[in-house]
Amino acid sequence: MITFLFGFILLFITVLQAFMPKFLKQTEAFGVYVPEQYAKKETVVRLKKRYTQVVLSTGLIILTGYLIWSLSQEPNEEILALISVGVQFTTIFISIGYYFIMHLRMKKLKVTEGWATGKNEVRVVDLQFQKKLQLIPRIVFVIPMIITVGLIIYTFIKYDQMPNMIPTHWGPSGQPDAFSEKTYFSVISLPLILLVMQGMFLMMSEGMKFSGAKINPANKKTSVEQQLAFRKYSSWFALFITITLTLMMGYSHLQTIHPEIATPWIMFALPLAFLVITFVGVGIYTVKVGQSGSRLKVGEANPSIEDKIAVDDDRYWKGGMFYINKDDPSILVEKRFGVGWTFNFARPISWILLFLPLIIIIAIAFSL
C-alpha cells in the first residue's frame, strides 16, 4: 500500500512537471518573457514539447524502476520511506535541472532573434484593479485560527485527563509508533503548528491584494479579467487548503484528548484522504486556472499590437524563478514557471515571511 502511495505521488509530480509549459502564459516560456507575436513560433513550441518529452519519459523510467525495486525487494518501512522520498526529490531535481537548460536556450534564442529589438515597451496600469478584486474576506481565514486557539484552550482544560505520553506519529497500520512526554508545551504542539500554517495562508491571501498586476498591452481587457480571476481562484484555493488542514490536524489532536473517537483505520485513512484531496485540488487548480489565469476563458481576445510589448522584466528574474526587484513594492508576485506565487526577494519582509514560519515549525517539531 505504501509503495503505491509513493508511486502515485511520484507519478503526480512527474506529470505536473512535464506538462507545466502548457499551464503557463504564452508570453512566458521557461522564465523568459516572450512578446505575444513570437509566442507561437515553431522554435518556442518545439522547446516546450522537448521539455515535456524529456521530463515525462525520465520520470516514468524512474517510476518503473522504483516500483520494480520496492515490489521485488520488499524493504522494511523505514528503508522504503527513505528511498521513496529520495526518488521523489531526484525526479524534481532532474526536472529543475532540465528547466534551467531550457531557460538558457530560450534566453539565447530571444537575444539572437531580437524579439525585443525596436519594440516600444509599455506598462499598462488599471487604476481600478484593487477595487475589482474578489478575494475571500480576511475574517474567513481568521475563523479557523480562532477555532485553533479555542482548541488550545480546550486542551489546557483537559490537561489532567490526558495520558502521560502523547502520540506524535502514526505508522501504516494506523497505530501510534512515536510518543512525547506530556508537558504544557507538547500537548499543544500540533495546534501551534496548525496555527502557523493557517497564518501563512492568511498572509498569502492578503499579499495578493497588493501584488502588482502584469497586464499584457497587446490584450488589455482579457489580461485584466484573467488576472482578477486568477487572484479570486487563488484565494479560494488557499481557503480550501486551510480548511482541509484544520479538519485533519484538528481531528488528529482531538484524538489525543479523547482516544475513543479514533480507530487505527481512521488514523490510517485520514492522511491518505488529505493527500488525495490536496492533489486533486492542485490538479484542478492548475488545469482550470493556469499561470495568471491563462487557461481561463474570459472573453474575446483583442488583436495584438505589433510594435508594442510589455515591459521586459527578465533582468529581475534570476534563472526565471527568483524575483529580485527593489523598485517593486509587491511582496508576492506571480511565478514565471509554475502556477501560483513567489516572493519578491528584494523586500526584507519577504525573507521574514518565508523563513520565520519554517523556523517556528522546525523548532516545535525538534522540541518534542
The DSSP 8-state label assigned to residue 239 in this structure reads: H
**361 close to 196: Cβ distance less than 8 angstroms:** yes
Among residues 73, 88, 117, the one where a domain terminates is 117
- pTM: predicted TM-score of the whole model, two decimal places: 0.83
Looking from the CA of 319 toward its CB, the CA atoms found within 13 Å total: 8
89, 148: one domain: no
Task: Please spell the DSSP secondary structure of 165-184, one letter per residue.
Answer: EEEEEE-TTSSEEEEEE--T
End-to-end Cα spacing for the chain: 29
d(CA 330, CA 207): 8
90, 133: one domain: no
Task: Determine which helix (DSSP H) or strand (DSSP E) holds 333, and give its type and residue range.
Answer: strand 332-334
306, 195: one domain: yes
223, 311: one domain: yes
Percent of the chain residues past pLDDT 90, beyond the cut: 43
Q: What is the pLDDT of residue 279?
A: 85
User: At residue 347, does pLDDT exceed 60?
Assistant: yes
158, 101: one domain: no
Q: What is the pLDDT of residue 165?
A: 82
Joined together, the cell numbers standing for residue 84 give: 521513496
**Averaged over 223-230, what is the pLDDT?**
87
d(CA 56, CA 337): 17
Count of structural domains, the chain: 2
**207 close to 238: Cβ distance less than 8 angstroms:** no
33, 166: one domain: no
**336 close to 321: Cβ distance less than 8 angstroms:** yes
User: At residue 125, does pLDDT exceed 90?
Assistant: no
**Averaged over 119-139, what is the pLDDT?**
84
User: At residue 174, does pLDDT exceed 70?
Assistant: no
237, 174: one domain: yes
Residue with cell 482541509: 244
Residues 6 or more apart whose CB falls under 8 angstroms from that of 1 comprise: 172
pLDDT 10s digits, 36-65: 888 889 999 999 999 999 999 999 999 999
d(CA 31, CA 17): 14
d(CA 350, CA 322): 12
Task: Please spell the DSSP secondary structure of 331-358, one letter per residue.
Answer: SEEE-SSSSSEEEBTTSHHHHHHHHHHH
**138 close to 202: Cβ distance less than 8 angstroms:** yes
347, 199: one domain: yes
Percent of the chain residues past pLDDT 70, beyond the cut: 94
58, 149: one domain: no
Residue with cell 516545535: 364
Among residues 86, 117, 148, the one where a domain terminates is 117
306, 320: one domain: yes
pLDDT 10s digits, 317-333: 999 999 999 988 899 99
**pLDDT band of 181, cuts 50, 70, 90:** confident
| Secondary structure (3-state) at 334 | strand
**Averaged over 345-354, what is the pLDDT?**
93
Sign of the dihedral defined by the CA atoms of residues 301, 304, 305, 307, in that order: positive
82, 132: one domain: no
Q: What is the pLDDT of residue 173?
A: 59
Joined together, the cell numbers standing for residue 164 give: 502521560
Over the chain, what is the mean pLDDT? 87
Residue span of the structural domain in which 171 resides: 123-368
92, 157: one domain: no
Among residues 117, 135, 154, the one where a domain terminates is 117
Joined together, the cell numbers standing for residue 190 give: 500540533
Q: What is the pLDDT of residue 345?
A: 95
